[in-house]
Structure 1
Amino acid sequence: MIAAVTDHLGLIYLVCEWIIRLAMLAVVPRRRNSPSARSWLLFIFFLPIPGVLIYAAIGRPAFAQWRAERFRRLAPFFADTNARMRPAGLRIPNAQNRKAVDLADSVGGFPAIGGNAIELMDGYDQTIDRLVADIDAARFSVRLLVYIFADDATGMKVIDALARAVARGVKCHVLLDPVGSHRWRRGTVSRLRSAGVEVREALPYRLLHRRTRGDMRNHRKLFVIDGAIGYAGSQNIVAKDFRPGVTNQELVVRVVGPVVAAMTAVFVADWFLETETMLCNAVDVPAPAGAVVAQILPSGANYALEGFATLLVWLIHTAQHSVVVTTPYLIPEEELMGAMRTAVLRGVRVSIIVSAVADQRLVRLAQESYYEDLLAAGVSIYLFENYLLHAKNVSIDGRLSIIGSSNVDLRSFQLNEEVSLLIPDEATTMMLDATQDRAITGSRQLLLEDWKRRSRPRRFAENLARLLSPLL
């Protein structure tokens, strides 16, 4: 009798597994791109019940309906900001740059605007000191949106500056990601609130809470002071060596001028999404402070297209001479791989600068699984040594720059909220090119013949990680 019941339950379990397998063959491809769909289906075919439960939790890269509706309510605010920013007779001499800013406008919703002064900063501690100085000079508002905010010695410099600003009557708001900041979250939030700073968690995550997801994060680094000075780039508010044995090197752009209005709008929108409170109903556009054209490109699940990925693929397809991509994490989609291969065949010099120092072993293995294909296609790969090169930037033909928070991987393309600054300006791109040249000088070029000599166990580990890469 017991054996018969056991056999019956076993049959039911087996039937359920096959029902799940067959049903997910129809469900998964409709909601994911091809690499992600293959990985999810492989996972579900091997472990049907755990796989479908995990897929139900994090399988679809979309926010809950309530959040999507809240984002739609921001449409009039964005439209008003764009109307205030959209310049009459903006002149962008290069035809390809004009097309690039039009595409960025279409996918990100903000226009390019001139009159900006741009400064690139790659000194980690100097960037923190400059931010502190700007906060100390603030008269009206300080708004910080950051993935990692620690209450270590570096973070305390910023927290103390915010406390001084609050004491002067400056309104200070901070959005931090609770997953990125998890090691310091309680201490940082407590210290900020004690200082009188309004602080909220971006995309707060609580286990089994229907309104949140742990894998979709706000990865933006965006600092705005008085609505007139903006910072964008890769740097968090934490000590540069917060990981044992790893020291970060970053790149941040400090901008003064009208494009800061779009930075303000991004922060105000993110604050509204978390609180349903509008910090302002209209964004003032700062007066011109220079001659550089710049454009903010936000991306994330709220947007119909993968904005940064869409723009990057198009830029590589239209490049004429050179493409240089700096990223700590490289897990390219098929479209991006194809764009790089085609560019090389057209005679374009395509270079990728990645870090020889690894802070995430599984991601590094997945990344390395693409190296042989890229090298065989003629792409140059440079391994930056001694530091974790955490900077994220792109240079196209010496005429256009992108500096921001987005990595060149599936997580940044599909899951994370990111923000980039697009700069269709030769002088600024020349400065970025010089920064990238210094990084190449501090790198070891990876050669195809050398890479082919890696061990078979290493290749196996890479291939396994690559299968999992769409799930990372």
Structure 2
Amino acid sequence: MDWQLIFKIVYYVILLVFTFKVIYDTESSTKASAYILLIFLLPVAGILIYLSFGLNYRKSQIYDKKLQLDQNQKKIINQYIEFYLKDTKKEFDEKFSKYFGLGNMLYSDTESFVTKNNQVNLLINGENKFPAMFDALRKAKHHIHIEYYIYDDDEIGNELAEILMQKAREGVQVRFIYDDFGSRKIRKHLVPKLRESGVEAYAFYKVQFIYLANRLNYRNHRKIVIVDDSVGFVGGINVSDKYVNRNPEDLYWRDTHLMLEGDSVNELQRIFLADWNFCSNQNVKPNPSFFKQHPILENPQWVQIIPSGPDSMNPSILYSFLHAIAISEKEILITTPYLIPGEEFLHALHMAVLRGVRVKVLVPEFSDSLVVNAVSKSYYLDLLDQGVEIYLYQKGFVHAKTMVCDDELSIIGTANLDNRSFDLNFEVNAMVYDRDITSQLRQTFNNDLENSRQIYYEDWANRKKYKQFLEKCLRLISPLM
């Protein structure tokens, strides 16, 4: 018996089986091509990577069920909030004629209302976020809803835990969602401690080794805090000491967050309750204490909350970026820690430059991921050639996810500019239609440029060829990242 021949036959059958599976299961042809290339170039590693990260359950029963639960819940919630938002849409269309198409498109896609009655505060870095958030949490009377991708068992994490446990002992209803992968450091010790004190804590989509493949893909990347449906927090800052920059010898982290008061908090509440009922298997029904009518605020600001995830019908956050870029007339300022744009994003930026829009992109010079950083660098030459200005942040690691478009639109949230955020993870962004916030965010961007260096086409093209070759090789798997 020719065992060598049998081995070859089995080997090629396995390759063909996985090739057919990739083609059949993967919605994106670009992503499918990348997986097939990886499987044929590195068969064992490629198959393991596909099994770990590539199996596509986007339309599986579990997400179909969540989508149905979310839609049923929205119908109930709308009974509480539609009556005082009925005139808001007309006023928004009149006040922001440039953006009414964007707002309407996002409402049609996500059923997220544009809300007028808001107070928005921009929080730069953990040094500003955590004091404001802790103060709001200590004032909680009825409920605290908190949802994080990364929650570390460190000084900041324990300080927050003490507040949550104290409020639970006072009779405040505390619900806590943590991502089982991103917050794996707290699973064994801190989570049981929270539960013992009366905090309801659930992992979002638990990671189990046998299901590692699908579950490392679809993570909850959201960062949401809601206090008594009056105050909400959303943005890029997780719960970790590294965000507060206490030790000057450690890597400096630059990030951006929002504190919201008013009607937009109802939209954060809607997202949280949908996630809560999904991961806890409870059926917490919307009620007036969760969706109350907020007092009329002075100088109110317009906000639209946009969720997106593998349970969404469309890549809503990607759509929001593309539409915002398409209607920009003067300036686009982008800050992102991970820049792995798809072809549609590259084309959108190029068309903006051709229209005469000045496009600036701020990215970290040094990243927390060598591979992702190398893939990001492979796009710089294309962008520079198109006329996009690129700045490398040098003071530390810029983790903020923001976009400024002209004078009245700011986008702040959890989504990076990569396929993982657009298609695989649960994300949430805030669209702020306001001159003051946009001016503040523009000034923040310009402040960051003072700690950055601009790169130019000639210099970037003349780097060592082996580096460029390695970056372009890694770019072949960019659809998987």
**TM-score scaled by length of structure 2:** 0.92
Contact 2:334-2:362 within 8 A present in 1 as well: yes
Return the offset for 1:150.
Answer: 1.6
Q: 1:114 to 1:456 in 2, by over 3 A?
A: same
Superposed, which structure 2 residues align to 1:31-430 within 5 Å?
A: 31-47=26-42, 51-52=46-47, 54-55=49-50, 58-59=53-54, 60=56, 62=58, 64-86=60-82, 87-90=85-88, 91-92=91-92, 93-209=95-211, 213-240=215-242, 245-282=250-287, 283-287=290-294, 288-290=296-298, 291-430=300-439
Aligned ranges 1:430-449 → 2 under 5 Å: 430-449=439-458
CA contact (8 A) 2:53 2:213 kept: no
The letter of the residue matching 2:231 is I
Quote the offset at 1:313 in angstroms. Answer: 1.1
Distance 1:141 1:18, change over 3 A: closer
Structure 1 residues 447 and 6: CA distance shift in structure 2, 3 A: same
- Supply the distance in 1 between the matched residues of 2:167 and 2:471 (Cα, whole angstroms): 49
Counterpart for residue 460 of structure 1:
469
Contact 1:327–1:408 (CA under 8 A) maintained in structure 2: yes
SS at match of 1:186: coil
In 2, are the aligned partners of 1:403 and 1:421 still within 8 Å (CA)?
yes
The one-letter amino acid paired with 2:197 is A
Deviation at 1:22, TM superposition (A): 6.0
Aligned with 2:188: secondary structure? helix
**Residue 41 of structure 2 aligns to which amino acid in structure 1?**
F
**Contact 1:20 1:49 (8 Å CA) reproduced:** no
Q: Does the 8 Å CA contact 1:21/1:48 hold for their aligned counterparts?
A: no
Residue equivalent to 2:9? 12
**For the Cα contact (< 8 Å) 1:353–1:384, is it kept in 2?**
yes
Structure 1: distance between partners of 2:132 and 2:119: 16
What is the aligned-residue identity percentage? 27
Cα deviation for residue 301 of structure 1 reads 0.5
| Aligned positions, number | 467
- Identify unmatched segments of 5+ residues in structure 2: none
Q: Deviations over 1:449-470 (max 9, x none)?
A: 2211211121122112211222
Bigger shift: 154-163 or 138-147?
154-163
Residues 83 and 455 from structure 1, CA distance in 2 versus in 1: closer, same or farther, beyond 3 angstroms? farther
TM-score w.r.t. the length of structure 1 is 0.93
83-92 vs 44-53, which moves further: 44-53
Stretch deviating more after TM superposition (203-212 or 427-436) = 203-212
Q: Which amino acid is the alignment partner of residue 253 of structure 1?
A: L
Superposed CA RMSD in Å reads: 2.2
The alignment partner of 2:475 has SS state of helix
* Residue 14 (structure 1) shift: 4.7
| Distance of 2:114 and 2:38 partners within structure 1 | 43
Greater mean alpha carbon deviation, residues 247-256 or residues 277-286: 277-286
Structure 1 gap segments, 5+ residues each: none
Q: Using the alignment, how far apart are the partners of 2:212 and 2:395 within structure 1?
A: 43
Shift of 1:94: 2.1
User: 1:226, CA displacement in angstroms?
Assistant: 0.5
Q: Retained in 1: the 8 A contact 2:237–2:243?
A: no
SS at match of 1:96: coil
Q: Give the distance between the partners of 1:64 and 1:188, measured in 2 at CA.
A: 32
The verdict on how the C-alpha distance between 1:251 and 1:22 changes in structure 2, with shifts beyond 3 A counting, is closer
Q: Is the 8 A contact 1:383 1:446 kept in 2?
A: yes
SS in 1 for 2:209: coil
